[in-house]
Structure 1
């Protein structure tokens, strides 16, 4: 308990400090950077329960899902061609960068590809465990460093981009509708248990998002609007967990490997900005910020938090990120895994 309280105090203090000095995304980046620095440069024992990170994801999922109004869900169908174009472009380049990474550090093809595809840390590590030639440690480092770079670099650049004022998003009236609320509980519980049973990743985040989207679309009610302090608490829960996820990563990182990972991610982030620029030019009704956060190879939670803070279209950005996640998990990763396993079999690995 003492270790947890110490960790919680550091996380909250870091968030408060970052907010006081006007840092962007203070309650996410403050705890994350504090946990990373303390774990890397001190011998202080830290502990952050997985249940708190889960609670943070659920709260954030509810807030993200609240953005999926009936009109927003119907408009998603019109965006499907752009989702496909963006997703195929980003995944295609990540595969090319994986091949470049292989040449730079002489890792296996499986390691290079599974580490480069932006499908999420936990998901790609699980997939890597099924491939004998994959170096799970390197895949973990590649995915972890990319998340850290995206969560720090992308929000920094969005400070210089123009988002929407609150009024531009349309007036939102939240009411307590008992029947819709009970329906949301039933749908959410069913979705969560179903996702857990089939082993689908990020159920804690995706189940609330899908629940809110389904119930609000069917009923036409806007169910909830979480207060700022609760969203800040959710960010602390997620940020502290992310920071400790990178614990002792420096002990396993060589200069050559680190340089290759950084180059890989800088090129991928730059390419997502280029894709966002193209789509913003082709579709003047949208803004560059929305497409940039939609294409950024970070997690849904992190990009949604950034969207909430910058005036981005949370529903649009989340739908693009969800489309990419499903595409990678259901199509790209299985194909890459099958190809790599066949090549391994031919080479005798």
Structure 2
């Protein structure tokens, strides 16, 4: 309890300081940076319960899901070809960068590919555990550093991009209906139970998003509009977890490995800028910011928080991110794991 209280005080104080000085995403980045530094350079015992991360993801999932109006869902169906183009392009480059990483640091093919594909830390580590030739420590470092770089660099870059002002955002008036809200809750619980049964990742975030999207698309109503202070609490819960998740990374890195990982991620982020530029010119009715956050190889939660802060189209960005997540977890990552296992069997690893 003492460690938790200390951790909570540091996280909230850091968020308040970041907010006071006008930093971007203060309640996410403040706790993340503060706890990362305290954990790395002091002996202060820190603890953040996993259920608080879950609470943060659920609250954020409800807020993201509320942006999926009936019109937004219909528009997503029309955008499927562009989602496929963006996803296949990003995944293909990730594979190419994995091959480059293999040559730079002489790691195994499995390690290099699973570390480079932006499919989520936990999911890529689980796949790496099934491949004898994969170095789980390196895969963990590659995925963790990518998350850190994307969460740090991408929001900073959006400061220089044009988002939507308050007057340009489509006004959504929510109408609280107890029946519909209970229906959304029931759908969310069913989806969560199903995802947990098949061990699908990020169920705490995806279940409320999909439930809200389904109920709102069918009913035509917007069920909820969460106040800023609740979104701030959700960001603290997620940011504190991110900061502690990166424990001990600096102790395991060599200069060569660190430089290769940084180069890998800089090239991937730069490529997403190119893809966003192509789509923004291809579809002038959208803005560059939407496609940049859609293509960015970060987590759904982090990119949605950024979109909320800078006036991005949350439904569009979440839709693109969801499409990539499903494609990677259901198609790309299993295919890579299958090929690597076959190659390992031929070489007698």
TM-score tier (shorter): over 0.9
Aligned match of 1:157? 157
Aligned pairs for 1:110-149 within 5 A: 110-149=110-149
Structure 1 counterpart SS, 2:168: helix
CA distance in structure 1 between the aligned counterparts of 2:288 and 2:62, rounded to whole angstroms: 26
Tell me the number of residue pairs that the alignment of Structure 1 and Structure 2 aligns: 349
Aligned match of 1:272? 272
Give 1:336 shift. Answer: 0.3
CA distance in structure 1 between the aligned counterparts of 2:333 and 2:263, rounded to whole angstroms: 22
Give 1:137 shift. Answer: 0.5
Give 1:103 shift. Answer: 0.4
Give 1:167 shift. Answer: 2.6
CA contact (8 A) 1:177 1:221 kept: no
Q: Which runs of 5 or more residues in structure 2 are unaligned? A: none
CA contact (8 A) 1:67 1:315 kept: yes
Structure 1 counterpart SS, 2:284: coil
Aligned match of 2:244? 244
Aligned match of 1:300? 300
CA contact (8 A) 1:180 1:221 kept: no
Give 1:95 shift. Answer: 0.2
Aligned match of 1:93? 93
Aligned match of 1:54? 54
Give 1:179 shift. Answer: 1.2
Aligned match of 1:228? 228
CA contact (8 A) 1:36 1:246 kept: yes
CA distance in structure 1 between the aligned counterparts of 2:238 and 2:185, rounded to whole angstroms: 23
Structure 2 counterpart SS, 1:24: coil
CA distance in structure 2 between the aligned counterparts of 1:299 and 1:88, rounded to whole angstroms: 17
Aligned pairs for 1:195-206 within 5 A: 195-206=195-206
Alignment deviations for residues 103-155 of structure 1 (CA, whole Å, 9 cap, x no partner):
00010000000000000111111111111111010000000000000000000
Alignment deviations for residues 195-245 of structure 1 (CA, whole Å, 9 cap, x no partner):
001100000000000000000011111100111000000000000000100
Aligned pairs for 1:271-290 within 5 A: 271-290=271-290
Structure 2 counterpart SS, 1:330: helix
Give 1:246 shift. Answer: 0.3
Give 1:7 shift. Answer: 0.2
**Displacement over 4 Å in runs of 4+:** none
Give 1:282 shift. Answer: 1.0
Q: Which moved more, 1:323-332 or 1:164-173?
A: 164-173
RMSD: 0.5
CA contact (8 A) 1:289 1:312 kept: yes
